Structure 1
Amino acid sequence: DRLREIRGASSILDRLNREIMGAIARDLDPNAQVVYANGGSGLFLLAEDKAEEFVRRVQAKYREETRGGATVTGAVQRLPAELTEQDLEQANLHQQLDLLRYKLRRAKECPPAIVALPSHPLLQLCDSCGLAYATGQSPWREPRGEEQRYCSVCLQKRREDAQIKKSIERMAARPQEVSPGSDEEAKRAVLWANLIYRLNRIAPDYFLEDGKPIVPKRPRDIDTLCFVASAGRGSIRDYLGLIYADGNGMGSRIEKLSTLGEIEKFARSIDDAIYKALASAVARYLSPVHVSGLLAEEDEENGQAEQGGQPQKDGYFFPFDVLLLGGDDLMLLTSGDRALSVALEVARVFRAEAHEQQGTLSVGVVFAPLKYPFGLLHDLAENALRFAKKQARLDQWRDAGDGDDTRINFLVVAGASTHEFDYLYKTAYCRHEANAEFRATLRPYRLPELEDLLQAIREAKRLGFPRSKLHQLREAILKMNRTSTVLEALAALQGCRDQEREFLLRWLYGFNQRYLLQNGQPAKGAGNIQGFPRVIFPWSHLQAPGQSGREIYLTPLLDLVELYDFVAAQEGERESED
């Protein structure tokens, strides 16, 4: 379970970036200006004779705080001497900024030589990272009673995680008093101070239950998070959902800015947008969960457990954990039934808040069993995110003409040997035949398309759509042809009740008309039923853009089937076990 190290490392780096960098700059030069400091990078204005010393001090602080586990690269660029302090914010510094970026890239590509560590068979490697030699045991209780030995880097991460957990509890007990940088707790737990502050502003009752204050805890480790996720109201299956979101083209956008004022405004807007998006999603979908039977374990970590290991009382937990948040990046772990709704809300609010800067997100969501190794889960989410970004550029014919390149991709882990999404897409979800192309999925989805798909799943659940028919549809679609796929899908449809069959056909034709027909126009000669000639159940039939004449057959039905277990009906849910 490396969740503690991941959270601890994220907290250390976030504090170094947002708090300590600026403090070092102001200590060296009281007139220093922080243009931005988030997302793992920063841009600072200092006196010329202090700049090199600033870089050295920041590098030394990174080595000290991370016990050598992380380093930082810096570069210095002199600005024109004729510019006054008043002119710096609006002056055109495009050439100087380009040169600064070049110096930074060159420094990164030529790191200092590393002296290899000694090796000996009697030296034990760290039980967590396996890279450095162990220096001692963790002072905190290990999950499942394991005895582990860790290197100094991993011990520092675990120490940080334990301290941040206590800081979160203290801030959650007084949310009205919390604001970013307000006290030592807020300066240490920068991410959570920001989140609690925004939650208290947009949803004051988030920390209340029946009008009484509650103090939700952060899940201690992956086992606790799994227990909380499966205990939450509305939790459908014993699955976790990992959400990985990243901004689209942020690097190229910031490189086009030529003044420090524009860069500062852009960075502040994007950082503020991602925090607002997270707070909105948490307030709407991730209310604290009441759990029994875990407080004894939590108190045992602090040496306060009762004899006999019986819990003293019930408690509340956050049904999620934020593993990374900075700049335009977000990584969040929660229960499977909440993950897609959270991802949708984050992408939607970010788009609205960052509209002035044309900011958008691509999101990868992976649903995996509770015991699935987190390292593999992270790799799958990263790959799903990369595919969303790449496919958005390739399938520009699906754009609505609004300039919104927000995309959400998802993957359901069905077994221990699940492949990365791009491999699955090429081998299982996409097939080429002569002058035709079959796509069994529409992933990655634009926001309106995914909202429509989720609403269709909710309606299907309210109707009690039989699971056996969903399975038949899935098997038929994965054959990906114009004969057996159509015949078997129609046979499955024929076995449904009238209202179920009518719902599925109506939704498929409507989805095709709204999102797949180019420019939303029906084909020529469509007749009285718009879109009907373009649908050969279960396929939607399109002509590829350009002069190729290639035919494309695609369908959202497989995505509906795969997501069926991860979306709850909003009210009156009734599922058929057929």
Structure 2
Amino acid sequence: MRTFLILLDTPGIKQFVFGTDPLAEVRGASALLDRLNREETRKVLEEAFPGRVMEAYAAGGAAQFVVTAEDRHTVENVLERLAALYAKQTGGEVQLLWGIGEVALGEPGGYRAALKAAFSDLAWQRFTAREQPAVLTFPLAVECQSTSYLPATRTRVWADEIRLVSEASDRKYREISEVNPGRLWAEFIHALDLPDTVKHTPHWLRCTTLQEIGEYSESRAGYLGLVYADGNAMGRLVQELESLEVARAFSTLVDGSIRDACHQALKELFRETLAEIRLRSDPSGNHLQLRKIPGDILLLGGDDLVVVLPAELAVPFSIRLSELFEEYSRQRQEELEEPARSFFRQRLQGRGLTISCGVVIAPSRFPFYLLLDLAEELLASAKKGGSRDPEATRYWVPSYIDFHIQAGSAVHDLHAIRREEYGVGTAYVRTFRPYRRDKLQTLCAAAAKLRGVGIPQSKRHDLLEAALEPRARQAEWKAKELFGRLAGPFGKQRLALFEGLCQLAPMDLNDFPWVRQNGGWATALADLMEIYDFVQAKEA
């Protein structure tokens, strides 16, 4: 018998989960992949290698196992059967890839060498994997109403609507309605201090559509916030895991920390809603009159997290989430046993793990898959900002957050938006984004103070237009003119605006609204005006 380390990956799962608009399909796809990843994968391996399977982790579409088998060919045959199961359960939309490395038992560094070989094998699998298959349809074929590149094969009734859907979309609906109706949501509800009658019927508190979540927005009617969070430097740490015990500790630390941080951050944001639910809950179990919790966890596994919230809660959630994740992961490190504790101590120097976030605020009726694409670009921008931070190391990167307010219907990629509208890459940059977490807190505090002095919407709109004026000198003249026209008793509006900008970066009043940055000029005036609506007022 020989020992093999197996790495599993499912590329393209975000397209499968979020490449559609109906919230029911998104939830169903997330639940389906979670079940395949956490339950079905281990079940198939246990049946093939009874008593010879050791799990390191299985979450977020990735997994690592150690199995004992006769030879590599036997392992590959089992993984091919597992890949066929994934394809069947997802209507052919998800492809399972794997890497295999043989573990030399008894040799120093044997596990790490096997891990390196498995990652190399997995990289080759990714390189040679098929692209999304083209589905040939005839003129009389009807497209799926959710995934138009697939032919509709059946009808599905959902929320009093008859939809023509593909096999893949139908399986998503079936998962959320019949097989696995919301493990992520049930876990969140059970983490709250709510009456048992409510915990046993968590679906009563769940919004049914994205539009319903947007209706709870107080800052801008019909708007929601999408938060996409991902761990920093996790890939480097994963590739240096020294043993199965360290791999298990790493998985437990990351998965537990992000889960607890998400639940606690939401619990704090929904404090008033939860208090109302406790007050109005019916001991008989009739919860029709309860207010729903205005948000949802769409993806939570490994170090990935996707959450939707009312617009004004998205940025505060991302800030609090990153704080709690760093705090919880640091605390969990102290509770680890050797050699896992030394592994993290040597690389993190007593600091917690960190995450970065992309936050997009947009109308709730905006195509969801486009919002997810934009959030993914914002996340990449945040990670890039963190990697350039002076305090960043190989294994530790400070938390950065990037945000964007999508007001109109036109969508461009983030790079084009920042270049054309915000002057990124020029001598006069109109944004400080992405923000390090503490700087974003400063920006939010400045915006809250501005709300406290009450700058009229018309003047905020003019200041935003001035900040985004493409011609730098005209932008400066307009901004100074508008700044001089700000009123309020004792010049409170001018003082609050100037102090807010100075807190982000020291500024000479003569240069308003510009500050020196990276050899050029930059201003955070547009950032301050855009986030104004999405923070709570603070008395000046």
Q: State whether TM-score is above 0.5.
A: yes
Please state if 1:389 is matched with 2:383. Answer: yes
Deviation at 1:431, TM superposition (A): 5.9
Change (3 A) 1:164 1:345: farther
How many angstroms apart in 2 are the aligned matches of 1:483 and 1:117?
Answer: 54
Deviation at 1:206, TM superposition (A): 8.5
- Matched AA of 1:13: L
Matches within 5 A, 1:157-236: 157-163=172-178, 167-168=181-182, 189=183, 191-197=184-190, 199-200=191-192, 204-205=193-194, 216-227=204-215, 229-230=216-217, 234-236=218-220
Please state if 1:373 is matched with 2:371. Answer: no
C-alpha offsets along residues 174-204 of structure 1, whole Å, 9 cap, x if unaligned? Answer: xxxxxxxxxxxxxxx2x3344334x23xxx2
Scaled by the length of structure 2, what TM-score is found?
A: 0.80
Matches within 5 A, 1:346-357: 346-355=321-330
Question: What's 2:25 paired with?
Answer: 5
How many angstroms apart in 2 are the aligned matches of 1:51 and 1:273?
Answer: 33
Contact 1:206 1:283 in 2 (8 A): no
- Matched AA of 1:66: T
Please state if 1:69 is matched with 2:93. Answer: yes
Question: What's 1:36 paired with?
Answer: 57
Question: What's 1:93 paired with?
Answer: 111
Question: What's 1:407 paired with?
Answer: 400
Change (3 A) 1:495 1:122: closer
Question: What's 1:568 paired with?
Answer: 536
Matches within 5 A, 1:455-474: 455-474=445-464
Deviation at 1:215, TM superposition (A): 6.8
- Matched AA of 1:406: S
Q: What secondary structure does 1:365 align onto?
A: strand
Counting matched residue pairs gives: 481
Deviation at 1:468, TM superposition (A): 3.0
C-alpha offsets along residues 15-68 of structure 1, whole Å, 9 cap, x if unaligned? Answer: 111122223333332242101111211111122236345423422332332233
Question: What's 2:164 paired with?
Answer: 149
Contact 2:233 2:395 in 1 (8 A): no
- Matched AA of 1:560: L
How many angstroms apart in 1 are the aligned matches of 2:418 and 2:379?
Answer: 13
How many angstroms apart in 2 are the aligned matches of 1:373 and 1:114?
Answer: 21
How many angstroms apart in 2 are the aligned matches of 1:274 and 1:70?
Answer: 25
- Matched AA of 1:43: Q
Gap runs ≥5 in structure 1: 84-89, 169-188, 291-310, 514-531, 545-550, 574-578
How many angstroms apart in 2 are the aligned matches of 1:431 and 1:443?
Answer: 10
Contact 2:450 2:493 in 1 (8 A): yes
How many angstroms apart in 2 are the aligned matches of 1:206 and 1:405?
Answer: 38
Contact 2:103 2:113 in 1 (8 A): no
How many angstroms apart in 1 are the aligned matches of 2:393 and 2:293?
Answer: 37
Deviation at 1:80, TM superposition (A): 1.8
- Matched AA of 2:174: R
Contact 1:288 1:317 in 2 (8 A): no
Deviation at 1:118, TM superposition (A): 5.9
Q: What secondary structure does 2:143 align onto?
A: coil
C-alpha offsets along residues 238-292 of structure 1, whole Å, 9 cap, x if unaligned? Answer: 21111111122311221123322222222221111211121112101135859xx
Matches within 5 A, 1:96-495: 96-111=114-129, 119-142=137-160, 145=161, 147-163=162-178, 167-168=181-182, 189=183, 191-197=184-190, 199-200=191-192, 204-205=193-194, 216-227=204-215, 229-230=216-217, 234-286=218-270, 313-355=288-330, 358=348, 359-394=353-388, 396=389, 404-430=397-423, 437-479=427-469, 483-495=473-485
- Matched AA of 2:443: L
How many angstroms apart in 2 are the aligned matches of 1:418 and 1:125?
Answer: 24
Scaled by the length of structure 1, what TM-score is found?
A: 0.75
Contact 1:365 1:411 in 2 (8 A): yes
Please tell me whether Structure 1 or Structure 2 has the larger radius of gyration of its CA atoms: 1
How many angstroms apart in 2 are the aligned matches of 1:250 and 1:110?
Answer: 24
Question: What's 1:547 paired with?
Answer: none
Change (3 A) 1:481 1:535: farther
Q: Which segment is superposed worse, 115-124 or 263-272? A: 115-124
Q: Which segment is superposed worse, 444-453 or 366-375? A: 366-375
Deviating runs (4+, > 6 A) in structure 1?
112-116, 206-209, 398-402
Change (3 A) 1:102 1:417: same
How many angstroms apart in 2 are the aligned matches of 1:123 and 1:486?
Answer: 58
Please state if 1:23 is matched with 2:43. Answer: yes
Change (3 A) 1:113 1:334: closer
Q: Which segment is superposed worse, 117-126 or 335-344? A: 117-126
How many angstroms apart in 2 are the aligned matches of 1:82 and 1:242?
Answer: 48
Change (3 A) 1:207 1:92: same
Percent identity over the alignment is: 28
How many angstroms apart in 2 are the aligned matches of 1:243 and 1:119?
Answer: 36
Deviation at 1:538, TM superposition (A): 1.4
C-alpha offsets along residues 536-560 of structure 1, whole Å, 9 cap, x if unaligned? Answer: 2211224x3xxxxxx3222222111
How many angstroms apart in 2 are the aligned matches of 1:380 and 1:492?
Answer: 32
How many angstroms apart in 2 are the aligned matches of 1:486 and 1:118?
Answer: 56
